[in-house]
Structure 1
Amino acid sequence: MAKVLIKDVIEEFDLELISGEEGVNRPITVSDISRPGLEMAGYFNYYPAERVQLLGKTELSFASRLSSGDRKSRLTQLCSDITPGIIITRDKEVPAELIEASEQYSVPVMRSKQKTSLFSSRLTNFLERKLAPTTAVHGVLVDIYGVGVLITGKSGVGKSETALELVKRGHRLVADDCVEIRQEDETTIVGSSPELIEHLLEIRGLGIINVMTLFGAGAVRSFKKISIVMSLELWEQNKQYDRLGLEEEKMKIIDTEVTKITIPVRPGRNLAVIIEVAAMNFRLKRMGVNAAQQFTNKLASVISDKE
């Protein structure tokens, strides 16, 4: 399971660590954030202790009105064994009772100068990105006219060579051989390259080349949303391949359905051009222009007129 440590949040948002330094390696396992308003009022029946706790102006002003005993009791209950950390926003003064409890239970207390709503939004986006479901697939990811194309197929079918030709034609390489994929939401998956092989392309007989060094910074990018999968397979004489393009095959990656096109490979076929045109045609379809459907409608109209 993906996880983020409290120290990662401190570094990302340049937070001031007030107390509880021993707990900076506590993991954050959920992207949800809690603003413990009801808890400050004394209702801890459903306290989401596994979330990062965010105390803003409202929670702190309410705590200041409590009696010394109630304030100490409720702030101490915020510091459970599984609470990742507590963040104070707006650069507010941290209650002494919270500092004492955080040191006792090793729960980091941090402070940010940002407004509560803005910081909450930024932190949620950061955690959702880092904790998103991930997987890795064998293939090549290329940005073609703004369309993220994942090229898959058996080893040796020509994925990397096709990617090289696409880069020469002005498109951008994202990843070769291994594509790390994370699901940002139900309909969006984003692919990137492992750091070790970023910008590298393996060509059999030639070896490993650095695309950014050879073609410039404009020939690569760090990540890209995957919109379509191009599956390369060796041509089978007896297999029936789609010749109109009316049916749209789907491939499931994590929990997201992605359009899949199977392209047969045999000598004489320019795969780079075919994939390039397929990406352009995909964009046209999303804009409402479907050449195959238009042809079918015209054909049906002609047949209907002759009857």
Structure 2
Amino acid sequence: MKTITIEEIIKKFSLEVLSGQDQLHRVVKKSKVRRPGLEFMEKFDFIATEYIQILGKNEVNYLHTLTIEECKMRIGNIVQYDPPCIIITSQQEEPLGLIQYCTEEKIPVLRTPDSMSELSAKLDAYVVKAMAPEIAIHGVCVNVSGIGILLRGKSGVGKSETAHTLIGRGHRLVADDIVVLKKLSPQTLLGTHDENNKEFLALRSIGLLNVVRLYGRAAFQEETRIALDIELTKWEDNALNNELELETKFVEYMDVKIPHIQIQLQPGRDISGLIEAAANNWYLKQQGYSAAEEFMKRIESDIE
């Protein structure tokens, strides 16, 4: 699992450093943040350790009612769980004893004007993505009508050209040539670029294009959840069939199963149109609709 430092979080969210300037190299090891509650009162063995601790208005107001020694004791109940940092929200005044104790214990104390709910949501999303396991694969990632699609195939098969046609139809490029896949959960795979190829699309005989400069912001998307894996392959005679509904096949990336479709290439085939159809059909299946089932019901109804 990847790690991030407190310094990276400070830069990302423009946090104010109240103490622990020499401890900003501390590493965040858990992909969620916590709001202390019972931790203020006593040590509980079942409470997870090493989480960023966030103090909202209720927690800070409670600490303000305590003496310096009492505050140190309550903060000590948090520090014993080894948080990489403590963040005060809503630009509140730090409680008496907090800075002193955390300085002694080498725990950075940070502050933000964001509310507890705002910071928790943003920080959780950022940390989960930043620490997610990831791999880089050769391919193209596009978002078609809100559905993330990974295009794969041998070099020169036409992945980038297909992506360019899809952009012309109003869809969005996410990454060309190198696609970074992040595992956000056992069921969720996120596709994105590697920063170097952000907004760029390479077309044979044409060269490198910046799709945002050429076609506007709507032509590019930073990331997308991968819903379909589509492999573009060379045409093989007698390899295609006309079954009413093909059995769903899957590929796995970091143990996340993604539905897989193979599309064979031949002059005259509208590959971009087929990809649009595949995306829309996948969406209908998620809604519980099957065209094959409806067709068979009509046939059975006619027979009856």
The TM tier, using the shorter chain, reads: 0.7 to 0.9
Structure 1: stretches of 5+ with no match in the other structure:
none
Matches within 5 A, 1:161-200: 161-200=161-200
Q: Shift in Å at residue 109 of structure 1?
A: 0.5
- Aligned residues of 2:249 and 2:260 also touching (Cα < 8 A): yes
Give the distance between the partners of 1:300 and 1:46, measured in 2 at CA: 59
- Paired position in structure 1 for 2:259: 259
Query: Which region of structure 1 is more displaced relative to structure 2, 130-139 or 74-83?
Result: 74-83
- Aligned residues of 2:71 and 2:95 also touching (Cα < 8 A): no
Structure 2: stretches of 5+ with no match in the other structure:
none
- Paired position in structure 2 for 1:245: 245
- Aligned residues of 2:71 and 2:96 also touching (Cα < 8 A): no
In terms of Rg, which structure is larger? 1
Aligned partner letter, 1:91: Q
Q: Deviations over 1:91-148 (max 9, x none)?
A: 3332343212222232111123344344333332332233333333221122223322
Give the distance between the partners of 1:214 and 1:118, measured in 2 at CA: 35
- Aligned residues of 1:141 and 1:173 also touching (Cα < 8 A): yes
Size of the alignment, in residue pairs? 304
- Paired position in structure 1 for 2:85: 85
- Paired position in structure 2 for 1:51: 51
- Paired position in structure 1 for 2:10: 10
Query: Please, what TM-score do these two structures have when normalized by structure 1?
Result: 0.84
Q: Shift in Å at residue 230 of structure 1?
A: 1.4
- Aligned residues of 2:153 and 2:159 also touching (Cα < 8 A): yes
- Paired position in structure 2 for 1:205: 205
Q: Deviations over 1:256-296 (max 9, x none)?
A: 43322111223443322222232233334444543333333
* CA separation of 1:228 and 1:92: change in aligned 2, threshold 3 A: same
- Paired position in structure 2 for 1:223: 223
* CA separation of 1:289 and 1:59: change in aligned 2, threshold 3 A: closer
Query: Please, what TM-score do these two structures have when normalized by structure 2?
Result: 0.84
- Aligned residues of 1:187 and 1:256 also touching (Cα < 8 A): yes
* CA separation of 1:199 and 1:92: change in aligned 2, threshold 3 A: closer
- Paired position in structure 1 for 2:23: 23
- Aligned residues of 2:67 and 2:96 also touching (Cα < 8 A): no
Give the distance between the partners of 2:197 and 2:113, measured in 1 at CA: 38
Query: Which region of structure 1 is more displaced relative to structure 2, 125-134 or 14-23?
Result: 125-134
Task: Give the share of equivalent positions with the same residue, in percent.
Answer: 36
Give the distance between the partners of 1:164 and 1:75, measured in 2 at CA: 56
Query: Which region of structure 1 is more displaced relative to structure 2, 21-30 or 11-20?
Result: 11-20
Q: Shift in Å at residue 21 of structure 1?
A: 0.9
Give the distance between the partners of 2:221 and 2:72, measured in 1 at CA: 51
- Aligned residues of 2:43 and 2:77 also touching (Cα < 8 A): no
Give the distance between the partners of 1:20 and 1:245, measured in 2 at CA: 61
* CA separation of 1:104 and 1:229: change in aligned 2, threshold 3 A: same
* CA separation of 1:131 and 1:262: change in aligned 2, threshold 3 A: same
Give the distance between the partners of 1:284 and 1:73, measured in 2 at CA: 57
Query: Which region of structure 1 is more displaced relative to structure 2, 270-279 or 237-246?
Result: 237-246
**Secondary structure, counterpart of 2:43 in structure 1:** coil
For the aligned residue pairs, the C-alpha RMSD in angstroms reads 2.9
